[in-house]
A and B are shown apart, each in its own frame.
Chain A
C-alpha cells in the first residue's frame, strides 16, 4: 500500500478549531432542524387522551375537545394553539413561525421592549426583537440558516465539481499524457458543434416532454448539454479508436488538455464575479436554484487553478510514478491516489468558498437581485434592516450569524491550510 503523505484526520486540533467545528455542527443542526426549533405548532399536545405531535407532521386540521366549545375541528393555519384549553402542550423553543406577523409587536420592537412589554409567558417573548410586520427575528434567523447554508454549500459544491474535474485532468494529463489516435482527435473536434446542436434539440424535447417548471429548466438544460457532449465525444473517440485499429494507422496525437483548461480558467477569472452575477441575474429568473447556479458557475475558476497546481506538484512524485509502474489506469490513479492527496486543498477551497458564497448571497439580497423576497435568508434579513439603523437588532443578529459562520469556516480553512503546509509542519 502506498503511504498517504498527509492525512487530515489523524491530527489533533487545537481548542479554537474544535470550537469552530462545534459551532458549525450546531449551525448545521439548527438549519436542518429549523422546522422543529422554531414553529408555532406545539411539539406535543395531549387532548382527551389523544396524543398528537403537530410540529412533526403536515396534518392540516385537528379535532380537539374543550369544555367550552366541545368537539371542534381546528384549522392549523387559523388556530391559536396558545388559547387551546384543557390540553397539555409542549411548545417549540421558539414558538413562532418565520414570516408570520404578530400584530401586537409590529413596527420594529427591540428585544428589550419585547421583554418588558410582553404580557405573556416567558417563552413567548421575541428574544431578538421583531421587524416591521412583527415577525420574530430569531425564528427568521433559524429558518434562514438552512437556505443560507444551502446556497453556500451547494453553490460551492457545483464549483468544486467543475473545479476538481477540470483541475485534476489539466494537472494530471498536462499536454503530454493523453495520447489519442489522430482519427479520434479529428472526430472529436468535428463533433463538438454537432454535439451542441443535438444537445440543444434534446433539451428542447426534454422540456416539452417533462413540462419542467421554471426552476428546473436551467439545471435540466445544463445536464442535457453536458451529457450529450460527453456522449458524443466519447462516441467519436471510440469510433476513432476503432478506425485506428482497423486500418492500423499509427499516428497519435496528444490532447492539449492543460492549455485548454488553463485558458478557460484565465477567461473565467478575468470576468469580475459580481458583474457576471448581475449580468446573469438580468437573464435568469429569481429563484434559490438560480442563485446557487449563478454563484457556482462564477466561482469554479479559482478552485480549478488551485487543484491544477496541487496536482501538478504531486504528478511527478514517487507514489504516482510507482502506481503507474504497477500498471494502474490513469482513472484509478486519479481516484485512488491523487484525489485523497489533494483532499487538503479541496477542503480549504471548499471552506473558504462556502463563506464567500454566503457573503455574495447577502450582497445580492442587498441589491434586491438575489433570492425571491419571500425566501428567508440571512442576507434578506440583513437587507431588511439596512435602512433602519435604529432597529440595530435587525442588522446585528443576522450579521452575527453570518460572521460566526464565516469565522468558523475560515478558522477551519486556515487550520487545514497550515496542517498541509510543509513549512508550518516543519516548524511545529
Chain B
C-alpha cells in the first residue's frame, strides 16, 4: 500500500527540479508549528507603459495533459488545471503546508480508534446548475475512483486504505470515511480526488446500487450490464476531451481547448467561493481568464518571456532563467526566483542482488562508501544545475523538520575510495585497468551497468560525470539508457546494478517505510536498493505512530544516521524550482510546493482605465 507517493509523483521526475538556498532552518527543530514554504514578492510600485492591462493571466506549459479526465488522467500537468476547475474535500495550504477544509466545514473529526473520519459539507456550495453539492456527490466520487472497471490503476493504491464512505442518516451534508488502519497520512486521501457531480457522471445512479467494497471487487457483481455500460462511457473520451463535459465545482470553467495551442479557463460568475473566507488561496480569484499556452521549444520560451507574451512560467530550465536574468528588460518586467522544492535524486545501488543477473558488488558496505566517495556530487550541482540545487546528505530533505544537521556530505575523494576498495578486496590483478576479485573461485571484474532515463538530458549529463569519475578508480561502467517507461518497472523489480531515481516528494511528514522499509523491498515497492533490517524497520514503525515531534525528532536523527552509515544509495541533490511572474500582477507569491504559483491569486495592478498604478 505504501508505495503510492513515490510512483505517483514519478512523472514529475527531472522536469520539476528542486533545491534551496537554505532559507532558514525552520526555526527551532523542536518547534512543531508551521513552516514557511513560500516567498513573497513586493508588488510593483509603478506600471510600465508597455505592460498589458487586461486581467488575463497567460501561463506557459511545456506540454499539455492528453486529457482532463477527472479519474483517469494521471500526468502531473493535469494538476495545474484541476486546481482551478475542481474542488476537493480538503486542500493543502501552500503557505504552511497544512491541511485546510475546502468543500467541508472543518477538518474531519476522527474517532478514538482513528478509523472513522466525520465530515460535514459547507453550506451554500453548489454546482454550476445551481443544485447543491451533497454527500451523494462525495460518495459517488470515491466509489467511482475505487471501482475496478475504471482505468485509473495509478490512483488505486491511494484509495486502497478506504473501506467505505457512508452518508450520515438524516442529513445530506454529513458523511463518514471508514478506514482500514490507523496511519498519519490518512487525511490526505481527501485531497487527491476532485469531487464529481453525480447527476452529470452517473445520471441513472448505477453506482448507488453497489457498496464501495463490491465495486472494488467488481467480479462479485452479478448483474453487470448497466455497470459496464456506465464504465465504458466513463472511461471513454466524453469526460476527458469534450470541453462541454469537463466541469467541476471550482471557481473557473474550461472555456475552450485548442489542442497543442491554448487552454482557456474563464472565471465563473457568482461562484460560491466568492462568499467564502478569502484568505484561502483557492478562493481569492482575481483574473477573469487564465490561459495556458503551450510552448515546447526551450528557446521559444525565452523569446516569449522577452516579448512579455507569457505572464507566468514554472517550467523554465535553469539555463533559460540564467540567460533571461542577464537581460535588464526581463528583470524589470518579471519577478523570478529559484525556490527549494521537495524532491530528490538518488543513485540507487542494488544491495540485495540475485547473484545471477546482478553481481554482489554492493552488498559490501565498504564498496558502497567507496562509490559515494567517487561520486562528484558537487561538480554535478555546479555544472549540470549551475549551482541551483541543494546537496542531499541523507534520506531527508535539508529544508524539512527533523533533518539531522550532524551528517556531513561525503566529498569527492578518489584516494580514499581506492583505499576502501582495496580493503574490500577489489584490486586490479591483471593490469587491464579494471578492478577484480576472486568470488567463489571465479574472477569477477568490477564492471556494472548504470541505468539512466534517456527522457531527461540532465540525467544523461549526470551519468556522464559519474562514469568519468568512477573510471578513475578503475571501475568500469556500462551506460544503460532507457526511457522512463522501461526504467521504472525494471528498477522496482530490482533488476539493476545501479540506477538513477528521482522522487517527486512533498513537504508532508516523511513516511520512511515507503523508501527504506524492507516491506517495500519484498513487495517491489519503492525501496529499490534493498536497505533495511529488523532494527531499522522497528525504528520506522515506532516513528510512524509517534505524533509528538519532541520525541519523534531524535528518532528521525537516529534513523538518518543509520541510513547515512549504510549508504545504500548515493545521495545526490534536490534541484530548484524556477518560477517567473510578470510584475503587472500583485500578490505574486511563489511556493515551494507544486504548482509553485496560484494563478487565481494574481491581482492586476495596472487598471485598464487610467493606465497607472493603483497600488496604495
Contacts and interface: CB of A to CB of B under 8 A. Distances in A.
* A contacting B, Cβ–Cβ less than 8 Å: yes
B484 to A, nearest CB: 14
A103 B383 contact: yes
Contacts of B428: 75
Contacts of B468: 100-101
B474 A78 contact: yes
Contacts of A389: 299
A60 B386 contact: no
A73 B431 CA distance: 9
Nearest to A99: B464
Contacts, number: 62
A78 B320 CA distance: 34
B299 A60 contact: no
A357 B88 CA distance: 54
B383 A101 contact: yes
A20 interface: no
Given A387-B299, A387-B320, A373 B383 contact: no
A215 interface: no
A386 B299 contact: yes
Contacts of B465: 101, 133
A101 B428 CA distance: 25
Given A60-B431, A374-B479, A387-B320, A75 B384 contact: no
* Interface band, chain A: 20 to 34
Interface string A64-82: 0000000001011110000
A388 interface: yes
A101 B472 CA distance: 13
A390 interface: yes
Contacts of A107: 382-383, 386
Interface in A32-61: 60-61
Contacts of A218: none
A52 to B, nearest CB: 15
Interface string B442-463: 0000000000001001001100
A103 B386 CA distance: 13
A372 B433 contact: no
A101 B471 contact: no
B319 A61 contact: no
Contacts of A103: 379, 383
A359 B275 CA distance: 61
A390 B457 CA distance: 19
B474 A388 contact: no
B481 interface: yes
A106 B481 CA distance: 23
Contact of A373 (B317, B474, B481): B481
A77 B435 CA distance: 13
Contacts of B383: 101, 103, 106-107, 132-134
B477 to A, nearest CB: 11
Contacts of B432: 60
Contact of B472 (A60, A77, A133, A373): A77
Contacts of B319: 387-388
Interface string B367-385: 0000000000001001110
B299 A106 contact: no
Interface string A118-149: 00000000000000111000000000000000
Interface in A380-399: 386-390
A372 B464 CA distance: 13
Contacts of B460: 373-374
B608 to A, nearest CB: 35
Interface in B450-507: 454, 457, 460-461, 464-465, 468, 471-474, 479, 481
Nearest to A79: B472
B464 A75 contact: no
A91 B516 CA distance: 50
A99 B457 CA distance: 15
B364 interface: no
Contacts of B481: 372-374
B565 interface: no
B232 interface: no
A372 B481 CA distance: 9
Interface in B53-111: none
A103 B461 CA distance: 13
B323 A373 contact: no
Nearest to B473: A78
A103 B469 CA distance: 12
Interface in A72-102: 73, 75-78, 99-101
Contact of A133 (B414, B464, B471, B474): B464
A387 B298 contact: yes
B464 A106 contact: no
Interface string A238-275: 00000000000000000000000000000000000000
Contacts of B414: 78
B474 A101 contact: no
Nearest to A103: B379
B474 A106 contact: no
A65 B407 CA distance: 41
Nearest to B317: A387
Interface string B555-582: 0000000000000000000000000000
Given A101-B383, A133-B465, A373-B481, A78 B471 contact: yes
A132 B384 contact: yes
A61 B299 contact: no
A99 B432 CA distance: 22
Contacts of A388: 319, 323
A61 B384 CA distance: 31
A133 B431 contact: no
Contacts of A134: 383
Contacts of A100: 468
A265 to B, nearest CB: 35
A390 B299 CA distance: 11
Nearest to B387: A107
Nearest to A97: B468
A372 B480 CA distance: 11
A73 B474 CA distance: 13
Contacts of A77: 433, 471-472, 474
A372 B317 CA distance: 23
Most buried by B among A73, A106, A387, A388: A387
The 6 A-B residue pairs with the shortest CB-CB distance in the complex, in nearest-first order: A60-B433, A387-B298, A78-B472, A77-B471, A106-B383, A373-B460
24 contacts: A61-B431, A73-B431, A75-B433, A77-B471, A77-B472, A78-B414, A78-B472, A78-B473, A78-B474, A103-B379, A106-B383, A107-B382, A107-B383, A107-B386, A132-B384, A133-B384, A133-B461, A372-B481, A373-B454, A373-B457, A387-B317, A387-B319, A388-B319, A388-B323
Interface of A: 60-61, 73, 75-78, 99-101, 103, 106-107, 132-134, 372-374, 386-390
Given A61-B433, A103-B379, A373-B454, 14 more contacts: A60-B432, A60-B433, A75-B472, A76-B433, A77-B474, A78-B472, A107-B386, A133-B383, A134-B383, A373-B460, A387-B317, A387-B319, A388-B319, A389-B299
